[in-house]
Structure formats: C-alpha cells, structure tokens
C-alpha cells in the first residue's frame, strides 16, 4: 500500500523538485547585474543551461512516471504548476531585462496560461489534460 509519504518520494516527484531548483537557479543567474563567471560561463549562459535542463527534466519525469508506475495526482499537479510558474517567472524576468518587450511578453504569459486552461477544460473532469486529446502536437509530445 502506498502512503502519502511514499508519493512525496516517487522518482518523478524527485525530478520535479530538481526542476523547481533548476528554475530558481536560472532566475538567479538571469538577474540584471549578475555577471559572475562560473565554470567559464556568464550569467545568461547559466540561465540558459539551468532553464533548458529543467525542461529536459520535464520530459524525463513523465517517462519515469510511466516506467516506474509512479503516477499520482500530486505529481501531475506538481508538474503542471512547475511548468506554468517556470514560464511565468521567466517571462516576468525577461520583461524586466527587456522592458521594451513588456507588452509582448505579457501577451505570451496570458496565452500560455489561457491555452492550458482551455486544453484542460476540453479534456473533461477527472482526466489528465493529455489523455484522449485529439491535438496532433500534444499526442506527439506525450
């Protein structure tokens, strides 16, 4: 029998926690004025590396959930909230670094959140937003 404590330590959820840490690191290295060089990389390089690794881990956590049969409602919510918050934070920081694109970046943020909300509502109650989806792109990426 799986307990709620077990779910917190499922392999896909551990990958999810790493994604959160990588995203926060990418935000830190993106902050204006941070020109420190670590491992020969400047701040924006490290931002790109951390943010990219976070989204590579997004694909891996889904594969791990299926492989280890460790899917859970908690993991699904962790994954979805991490995706939305990562994108929102990244766009917010970009709007501070590039204020001339603030309106465009805000539009991208609204598009990201609203399109995922519509996709979830289209799927129906009680189902994962990628299951039973007729969208070709969603099927290929799953």
Residues forming the active site: 83
- From residue 126, alpha-carbon distances to 23, 41, 118 in Å are 29, 45, 15
CA gap 60, 142 in Å, rounded:
11
Q: Is the distance from CB of 25 to CB of 50 less than 8 angstroms?
A: yes
CB atoms under 10 Å from CB of 67, counted, come to 11
Residues forming beta bridges with residue 41, ordered by sequence position: 38
Residue whose token pair is 């491992």: 39
């Amino acid at each position: 029998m799986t307990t709620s404590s077990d779910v917190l330590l499922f392999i896909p959820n551990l990958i999810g926690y790493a994604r959160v840490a990588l995203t926060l690191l990418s935000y830190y290295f993106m902050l204006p004025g941070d020109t420190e060089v670590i491992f020969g990389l400047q701040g924006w390089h490290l931002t790109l590396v951390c943010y990219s690794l976070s989204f590579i881990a997004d694909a891996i956590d889904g594969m791990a959930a299926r492989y280890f049969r460790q899917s859970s409602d908690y993991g699904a919510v962790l994954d979805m909230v991490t995706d939305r918050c990562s994108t929102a934070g990244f766009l917010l920081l970009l709007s501070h670094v590039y204020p001339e694109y603030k309106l465009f970046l805000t539009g991208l943020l609204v598009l990201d959140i609203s399109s995922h909300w519509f996709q979830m509502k289209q799927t129906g109650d009680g189902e994962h937003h990628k299951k039973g989806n007729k969208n070709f792109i969603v099927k290929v990426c799953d």
